[in-house]
Structure 1
């Protein structure tokens, strides 16, 4: 399994670029959501966002839909 993934990265540079873009996307949104959850003392949201890797979906939902108090960023 690991050998297949590694060979896919070597033979297909577009795949490596896609993975890099997805990682950066996830880090950006996760960072903002974790910061906001910590500032507002929302422990359960912080833990969920930290543990689950959802390619930015959960952090975006938290930031824009499930926020208590102020709306949005």
Structure 2
């Protein structure tokens, strides 16, 4: 069992770091654009970075 624990630990750490980066970028953008619903959804739901990426690609307001 110890082999499985050491094998999956780097994967779990990578996924956690991946999620924190994307969540941070998306939350920053939501707060700046005053999109409260998206901010709450991204903050509460743990989706391993999928929901923040969807928000950043499709729903973020353009800077133009």
- What's the TM-score bracket when you normalise by the shorter of the two chains? 0.7 to 0.9
Q: Which has the higher contact order (CA 8 A, sep 6+)?
A: 2
Gap regions ≥5 residues in structure 2: none
Instruction: Point out 4+ residue stretches in structure 1 off by more than 2 angstroms.
Output: none
Q: How many residues align?
A: 62
Q: TM-score, normalised by structure 1?
A: 0.78
**Aligned CA-pair RMSD:** 1.4
Gap regions ≥5 residues in structure 1: 1-7
Q: TM-score, normalised by structure 2?
A: 0.88
- Of Structure 1 and Structure 2, the greater helix share is in 2
